[in-house]
Amino acid sequence: MPICTLEAPAYWYVYPPALIPVWSDGGGPTYIGYWKHWFVEREPCFVEMYVEGGCAVREIARTPAQLFAVIAMRAMSLDDGVTPELEQFASAVGLDCLAELDAVSLDVGDDLAAFAAAEVFKTQTPLESMPSSALPYTGGFPDASNPVPGWWQRSCSFEIDLQAMPAPPGVELPAWFDSQQDKKPLFERFLAQGRLDCAWLTLNSTGWSIAHARRAIVQLQDRACDEAFNRMAAAWLAVADIRAGGY
């Protein structure tokens, strides 16, 4: 890695199972990883998660190439240019646009909002890099500028700052957005109704102890009968230490 603070495999600081961490950084702590909502019609993406910020996430990339470009731009900003370590990293992951990224970095540093100037970000632009004058965002992350289709039906509380992005007038947010709602019985009610999507979004919203979340994901495994989901759940269960408290 060209950034020495990024650890792989990621360390357990607490994260919900929608995150598959690629790297962790103990300084925040923060995670950079793959964000996937199971049982929900959503495009997976890559996010940065702020553990001390209530596990809030923001979409920083929609393709692996964009993810590696984000790392490269941050490394350039930290080291004031392209280092041999960054060249090694780029070669290993197939990132062939270091010269262009370096030129963009001279103008914008590591400001995600300005990354659309680089070719790799011009299509499938992630939400954090959407210029204000661009075409509408086409990804699946909740977007305050586009309430149709309803982001609140396919999102969880870690993705939404309700003060900055309140629900449109007349819309009642699903119960999993309510920080005062007891999530365990809500999850079990959705599961009994066969609403695996709502159960999953509830599991990935704030208000869980790790002990209860561990039991909940096993219940979802039993209902889903999905081998890929089982592998993800097993990976999360292998690190989800109940001594961390909850999320």
Contact 66, 128 (CB under 8 A): no
Write out pLDDT tens, residues 66-104.
999 999 999 999 998 999 999 999 999 999 999 999 999
| Sheet hosting strand 6-7, strand order edge to edge | 6-7, 19-25, 30-35, 45-50, 56-61
Instruction: Give the predicted TM-score (pTM) of the model.
Output: 0.94
- State the chain's mean pLDDT as an integer: 94
Report the distance separating Cα 146 and Cα 148, nearest Å.
6
Element (H, E) at 233: helix 227-239
User: Which range, of 119-133, 208-222, 233-247, averages the lowest pLDDT?
Assistant: 119-133
Return the pLDDT at 216. Answer: 98
DSSP string, 15-53: --TTEEEEEEETTTTEEEEEE--TTS----EEEEEEGGG
Please give the distance of CA 1 from its chain centroid, rounded to a whole number: 20
Write out pLDDT tens, residues 116-166.
999 999 999 999 999 876 678 999 999 877 766 788 899 999 999 888 888
CA distances from residue 59 to 136, 222, 238 in whole angstroms, order as listed? 15, 30, 26
Q: Token pair for residue 211?
A: 């002990």
